[in-house]
Structure 1
Amino acid sequence: MKDFFERLLWGSRYLTLLAVWSCIIGMALLFTLSALDMGKLFLEFIDVYILGHNIPDFHTIVVSHVITAVDDFLLAMVLLIFGLGVYELHIDKLECARDNEAAGKLLKIESLDDLKDRLGKVILMILIVAFFKNVLHVKFDDPLNILYMGGGIFLVALALYFGHKAGEHK
């Protein structure tokens, strides 16, 4: 009975495949949707600059869409890293990626802390991108807004600095 129970417990790790496949599907959806949005934006660009149609504040719209796409691509990368990391931690190492140089950089996940570190860096980049997307809509008609902007940029720089310093100690 004990042997059966232990095998059942050990086999339950395969339930993490639900998380792995969900992350891979989410990653594929985000990459596809973001690429399609960039395609639509390109068609609007042609409409405005080649065909001569007028869209007010088109430059701001383009920048906002591009930043949103970068944000979505970063989130898709989080899903990829998380899915591959969970697979490698709970199921098995990816044999086909052992001799691949790019995989060596992506899949050096030996523990849950390694996975958290990798995800934390990408999530920090997502937050930075989201910050700069919101900066597009700030009106600089009040000196306090300029001060807030400077403080926000300082905090982003500080987060990047500490993220870099944490990576150096490993």
Structure 2
Amino acid sequence: MTQRGRLQASPMERSFERLIWKFRLITLIPVVMSLLGSVSCFAIGTYAELSALNKVLQGHFTYTNSTLLIGKVVGGIDYYLIGIALLIFGYGIYELVISDIDPCQQDPSEIRRNLLNIESLDGLKQKLTKVIVVALIVTAFKSMVGFQVSTITELLMFCAGVLMLAFSAWLLGQTRSH
């Protein structure tokens, strides 16, 4: 519609459009909740890391339970990755629907500025997908650390799992070049 056509819009139509435009602010709810969820995941991950470190420093580990400690450390990393995914989601929704994040735009570092600069819904999905796939790889690794191999079938399943993880990591690397 041309500028001249906009001037001929009725006052009721202009009021309704202003209301619709303001309604986008409802997306502040998922933005704030995802940022709070991110903080929660960082706190849980830190607790898991400190708990494992505490057991190591106190000498409460043996060969048998060292696998459990490694699982705790990897679990902490998994919580961090989920926290990062929530952070990216919150930033992305804010930038897509509400406004650009001004301090991010003023950062002299091009790398950091592009890290969270979300320009489209597809861009947000791509960034989230990468973080989620990495989190799934870490979760699979956590499960595989304590996996006991006792038969040839279990060994083949373990190898297939490692192969799928490697293929997933390779696919993630391929998406960076496109």
TM-score (norm 2): 0.86
5 Å matches for 1:9-158?
9-48=20-59, 53=60, 57-100=64-107, 101=109, 103-158=112-167
Q: Which runs of 5+ in 2 are unaligned?
A: 1-11
Separation (CA, whole Å) in 2 of partners of 1:66 and 1:124: 19
Range 62-71 or range 93-102, more displaced: 93-102
Which of 10, 13, 16 is the equivalent residue of 1:2? 13
Range 113-122 or range 55-64, more displaced: 55-64
| SS state at 1:98 partner | helix
TM-score (norm 1): 0.90
Q: What's the C-alpha RMSD, in Å, of the aligned pairs?
A: 1.6
Q: Runs ≥4 in structure 1, deviation > 6 angstroms?
A: none
- Distance verdict in 2 for CA 1:18–1:134, change over 3 Å: same
Aligned length: 165
Separation (CA, whole Å) in 2 of partners of 1:108 and 1:96: 11
| Larger-gyration structure (1/2) | 2
Q: Which runs of 5+ in 1 are unaligned?
A: none
State, as a whole percentage, how many aligned pairs show the same letter: 30
Give the conservation status (yes or no) of the 8 Å contact 1:85–1:109. yes
Range 138-147 or range 93-102, more displaced: 93-102
Separation (CA, whole Å) in 2 of partners of 1:131 and 1:33: 19
> 2:58 corresponds to which letter in structure 1?
D
What does the per-residue CA deviation read over 1:101-140, in whole Å, with 9 as the maximum and x for residues that have no partner? 2531322211001101100100010110111111123221
